Chains A and B, each alone.
Chain A
């Protein structure tokens, strides 16, 4: 019944904010919702039976700031508990017996400056501390990499550590995230994939690449994020609306990537290379960095990937070859108070679009469904033919981090980025003169230029209250130059300001925040040879309220109520044309209002010596959800009749459950299991929402062949992924039934060792071991082809 109350509260807030008529309330539906949450809570209740009482908590490493050498014998003290540790020969320390909460950690070492920091221990936490020699005047210590952000979020947050990111080297950026509970992929063949957080993707999630919001043509389902996965050191995934800190667009979640920290030490770098058997892909990355003139540092990084056509279990996917070339240069300055970095990066890719998806009308699409194999096939090739995409994304950013004497912190980030997207189609005009005139001109050619300026100020903690305030400004211009027009030219100005405060008392944290955003969009179109400009103004408030409580050793519960909004994207306002590949006619609506989400999220975590659990359940209500609705009348054209869809607003409700458990059976074997369940409903139509990820389970076991303290590490892993058939689909909207569920087995084995005084890390993996033929419901090629078959992957990383 508590759930009933909470849900109705959540809904009422949504209604209040957007003024939706409350008459949609359908008792039976909510009853189901409550049962769903009740089941989730029952699972929580069952947890104590599984728990092992001794929690693990804080560990880390202490290093010399200049050379990076481990400092053995440093004293690490938790002031609240008066417990201390002395670092081992490799500079590491571990406190196994830390209750969740906030602690002051003091680190001391002879000849070095003392280091004191506030640490919030929620689950397994790792601190990497670089102590500065007392000789260096300007020096201070810096917490380099933590497992969780400071200012602990009450929101469901998952962090991928550098080691975890490393496991997916050579794959697309989105594929880094595919094992995170609650995250699935929206794929357009092997080269294009987009992350989906709790069923939300594209314009509903925000990607921050090294603190700069990534602005591409993110509304397109076949437009992958323009991020070099090799440049990414760690990734943070925030699930649910995170609009207070990150503004409109962060309605479904936020993905933040971080590059490596500024290195003031000596010359170092990393070389990594990968080989993939399925599409004969080779990729390599080289990074080099060094400190100079005491406080300065430079970094250069480059990577390339080249792949041929991918294959399913028994046929080639014609024209799915791709190539990618990326580069990054960074110049940094760092001292006790200040950190400045200037970064310039370029991401460039050329992607073949699967020939079998090149269709012209509905009967072509029907013939494609009925065929067991694609109608167009070719021999394996690295050649990228038509249709294809050419994408370049250049970013220049300047970041300043100033720590004032009173320990308040100012962060400024200014960025310029330009996204150029050219899409070439395979259609050649009949008229030879026109063909000659249009030779090599892309069908779509969009240049999107964005300037952003973000500032955040973390104030001096006042008693138990810490917090920050910030402003964001953005200016954006989109210019279309192709043969065809899918979205018009436009200019955007937007601005926002927020305050986020946190109150901490013993094992209890409450945080609250509010934000206001304004966005003005002007579209420019040519109508009857005259330029027509039209203004759209969107503005709204966002808010969040959360609490985190630890009532017993190792246990932590969090609840978060958040609301966010999103202005309609340019395609939702102005699309008017055939969507190739799905043979449907899409029509935008310039009268669309902003979308709003209200979500309630409950998380439970347990961190024991052997067992680690992370369970969360949520409800997200979106009273003005923008969705493509089928029209009764198809659009009749000379190429046949096209089913027609119009962007409309409806009331959507998304409920979900995610759980992850890791169990360390002994020091050699670790077992883990995770599951993602999601129910998405169009309340107005009383139908499920289309294109939502199916339920899935992942089981893995990780085996270490060697003892912990050995210099050589040898491991093996086996992972089973089971994906259920998506049974919940609206009737009569999709062309084909959802594909059946599938079950995949991946195995891998690797070693980390020293050879000729050089560290090496080598892994060999087999994905889709049994070469299963399957189609994923969220694959945009499922109408035309199966997903990729077996893949043998070899990875090598050499740090130097």
Chain B
């Protein structure tokens, strides 16, 4: 009887050691695969009638992506009253070397993406999206746009431009925003006479 009991103990111990091989080693962690990070949004504006090539560039930059440090650069968009601007937007991942320009990828998936631009606390200002996808009827993409300010335009101290990129995944693209937002940033805005 005692022998059998001893055998049971050794059986259990043997079982444990047999299984002890079946484990990955936690003490040697691998760095997670680099996720795609959108770190930088660049808004470029060309005043209509101004010298070609005289481009205004505004940047929203969070080099380490979500969390961690707060964004390092959020420019103020300064616009003249009584003027029109042709605008374009660039989306970049600058956490990689070399930096990756994601603008082209968005253009390729234009039928499932849409930028929305909203001026907050600014009066007599207009913004229209100038490029369209191949849906029927065509819907705006928003990589290119036009801003028009009236001579009477005014901006409050908290004036701002909100830019959002909607991703239509699993649902049809429409005039309204999708349930999935890839970009949602806000630039402060100032007006100059």
Contact B15 A483, beta carbon cutoff 8 Å: no
Contact A577 B66, beta carbon cutoff 8 Å: yes
Of all chain A residues, the one with the shortest Cβ separation from B15 is A398
Tell whether A480 pairs with B32 under 8 Å between CB atoms, given A414-B16, A416-B16, A453-B16. yes
Query: Mask for A609-640, Cβ within 8 A of B = 1, else 0?
Result: 00000000000000000000000000111111
Neighbouring B residues of A86 by C-beta, 8 Å: none
Contact B29 A480, beta carbon cutoff 8 Å: yes
In-complex Cβ contact of A483 among B5, B25, B29, B32 (8 A): B32
Contact A524 B27, beta carbon cutoff 8 Å: yes
Neighbouring A residues of B29 by C-beta, 8 Å: 479-480, 488-489, 524-526, 531
Of all chain A residues, the one with the shortest Cβ separation from B5 is A402
Chain B residues 18-32 with CB under 8 Å of chain A are: 19-20, 22-32
Tell whether A638 pairs with B31 under 8 Å between CB atoms, given A355-B170, A359-B179. no
Q: Among A385, A490, A638, which residue has the most Cβ atoms of chain B within 10 A? A: A638
Neighbouring A residues of B19 by C-beta, 8 Å: 396, 416, 451
What total of A-B pairs shows CB separation below 8 Å? 169
Neighbouring A residues of B11 by C-beta, 8 Å: 340, 398
Contact A375 B67, beta carbon cutoff 8 Å: no
Contact A360 B180, beta carbon cutoff 8 Å: yes
B156 on the A face (CB < 8 A): no
Chain B at the A interface: SS class? loop
B181 on the A face (CB < 8 A): yes
Of all chain B residues, the one with the shortest Cβ separation from A413 is B12
A494 to chain B, nearest CB (A): 15
Contact B184 A430, beta carbon cutoff 8 Å: no
Tell whether A637 pairs with B1 under 8 Å between CB atoms, given A358-B180, A480-B29. no
B15 to chain A, nearest CB (A): 5
Q: How many residues of B contact A (CB 8 A)?
A: 57
Chain A residues 412-451 with CB under 8 Å of chain B are: 412, 414, 416, 418, 426, 428-432, 434, 437-438, 441, 447, 449, 451
Chain A residues 664-697 with CB under 8 Å of chain B are: none
Contact A638 B67, beta carbon cutoff 8 Å: no
Query: Mask for B67-78, Cβ within 8 A of A = 1, else 0?
Result: 100110000000
A491 on the B face (CB < 8 A): yes
B60 on the A face (CB < 8 A): yes
In-complex Cβ contact of B30 among A441, A490, A526 (8 A): A526
In-complex Cβ contact of A367 among B20, B91, B169, B177 (8 A): B177
Query: Mask for A337-362, Cβ within 8 A of B = 1, else 0?
Result: 11010100000000000011011110
Tell whether A577 pairs with B35 under 8 Å between CB atoms, given A360-B181, A360-B182, A364-B181. no
B69 to chain A, nearest CB (A): 10
Neighbouring B residues of A482 by C-beta, 8 Å: 32-33
Tell whether A484 pairs with B32 under 8 Å between CB atoms, given A375-B171, A453-B16, A638-B183. yes
Contact B183 A639, beta carbon cutoff 8 Å: yes
Q: Among B8, B24, B26, B67, which residue has the most Cβ atoms of chain A within 10 A? A: B26
A477 on the B face (CB < 8 A): yes
Neighbouring A residues of B28 by C-beta, 8 Å: 524, 531
Contact A639 B26, beta carbon cutoff 8 Å: no
A363 on the B face (CB < 8 A): yes
Chain B residues 76-119 with CB under 8 Å of chain A are: 91, 93, 100, 102, 105-106, 109
Interchain CA distance A360-B179 in the complex, whole Å? 8
Contact A638 B39, beta carbon cutoff 8 Å: yes
Contact B169 A426, beta carbon cutoff 8 Å: yes
Contact B102 A364, beta carbon cutoff 8 Å: no
Contact A356 B179, beta carbon cutoff 8 Å: yes
Neighbouring A residues of B131 by C-beta, 8 Å: none
Chain A residues 475-509 with CB under 8 Å of chain B are: 477-485, 488-491
A400 on the B face (CB < 8 A): yes
Of all chain B residues, the one with the shortest Cβ separation from A441 is B33
B38 on the A face (CB < 8 A): yes
Interchain CA distance A478-B19 in the complex, whole Å? 16
Chain A residues 359-416 with CB under 8 Å of chain B are: 359-361, 363-364, 367-368, 375-376, 378, 385, 396, 398, 400, 402, 412, 414, 416
Interchain CA distance A398-B145 in the complex, whole Å? 69
Neighbouring A residues of B177 by C-beta, 8 Å: 363, 367
Contact B22 A418, beta carbon cutoff 8 Å: yes
A578 on the B face (CB < 8 A): yes
In-complex Cβ contact of B181 among A338, A363, A416, A585 (8 A): A363
Interchain CA distance A378-B169 in the complex, whole Å? 12
Query: Mask for B150-185, Cβ within 8 A of A = 1, else 0?
Result: 000000000000001001011100000111111111
Contact B26 A485, beta carbon cutoff 8 Å: no
Interchain CA distance A483-B171 in the complex, whole Å? 26
Interchain CA distance A396-B93 in the complex, whole Å? 46
Q: Among B12, B19, B24, B179, which residue has the most Cβ atoms of chain A within 10 A? A: B179
Contact B67 A585, beta carbon cutoff 8 Å: yes
Neighbouring A residues of B43 by C-beta, 8 Å: none
Chain A residues 8-34 with CB under 8 Å of chain B are: none
Q: Among B1, B31, B33, B102, which residue has the most Cβ atoms of chain A within 10 A? A: B33
Contact A485 B32, beta carbon cutoff 8 Å: yes
A480 to chain B, nearest CB (A): 7
Neighbouring B residues of A480 by C-beta, 8 Å: 29, 32
B144 on the A face (CB < 8 A): no
Query: Mask for B49-68, Cβ within 8 A of A = 1, else 0?
Result: 00000000000101001110
Interchain CA distance A368-B164 in the complex, whole Å? 17
Interchain CA distance A799-B23 in the complex, whole Å? 39
Neighbouring B residues of A525 by C-beta, 8 Å: 29
Of all chain B residues, the one with the shortest Cβ separation from A394 is B22
Interchain CA distance A635-B35 in the complex, whole Å? 19
In-complex Cβ contact of A434 among B15, B27, B36 (8 A): B36
Interchain CA distance A687-B32 in the complex, whole Å? 39
In-complex Cβ contact of A524 among B26, B39, B183 (8 A): B26
Contact B30 A481, beta carbon cutoff 8 Å: yes
Neighbouring B residues of A355 by C-beta, 8 Å: 170
Of all chain B residues, the one with the shortest Cβ separation from A477 is B26
B41 on the A face (CB < 8 A): yes
B4 on the A face (CB < 8 A): yes
Interchain CA distance A402-B6 in the complex, whole Å? 11
Interchain CA distance A711-B14 in the complex, whole Å? 50
Interchain CA distance A291-B95 in the complex, whole Å? 65
Contact B164 A431, beta carbon cutoff 8 Å: no
A374 to chain B, nearest CB (A): 8
Neighbouring A residues of B27 by C-beta, 8 Å: 489, 491, 522, 524, 531, 533
Contact A431 B30, beta carbon cutoff 8 Å: no
A576 on the B face (CB < 8 A): yes
B8 to chain A, nearest CB (A): 5
Contact B16 A451, beta carbon cutoff 8 Å: yes
Contact B12 A412, beta carbon cutoff 8 Å: yes
Interchain CA distance A368-B181 in the complex, whole Å? 12
Contact B39 A479, beta carbon cutoff 8 Å: no
Contact B26 A489, beta carbon cutoff 8 Å: yes
A603 to chain B, nearest CB (A): 37
Of all chain A residues, the one with the shortest Cβ separation from B20 is A451
Interchain CA distance A92-B4 in the complex, whole Å? 36
Interchain CA distance A483-B34 in the complex, whole Å? 7
B186 to chain A, nearest CB (A): 9
What 7 pairs across the A-B complex have the smallest Cβ distances? Answer: A640-B184, A430-B105, A416-B19, A429-B36, A489-B26, A375-B179, A479-B24
A-B contact pairs, 23 of them (CB 8 A): A355-B170, A367-B177, A398-B11, A400-B8, A414-B15, A416-B16, A416-B22, A418-B22, A418-B23, A430-B91, A431-B100, A434-B36, A449-B22, A449-B23, A477-B24, A491-B27, A524-B28, A525-B29, A531-B27, A638-B38, A639-B66, A640-B181, A640-B185
Known: A358-B180, A364-B181. 15 other contacts (CB 8 A): A356-B179, A360-B167, A363-B184, A430-B102, A431-B100, A453-B12, A477-B25, A479-B29, A482-B32, A524-B29, A529-B31, A635-B67, A638-B184, A639-B38, A639-B184
Residues of B within 8 A of A (CB): 1, 4-5, 8-9, 11-12, 15-16, 19-20, 22-36, 38-39, 41, 60, 62, 65-67, 70-71, 91, 93, 100, 102, 105-106, 109, 164, 167, 169-171, 177-185
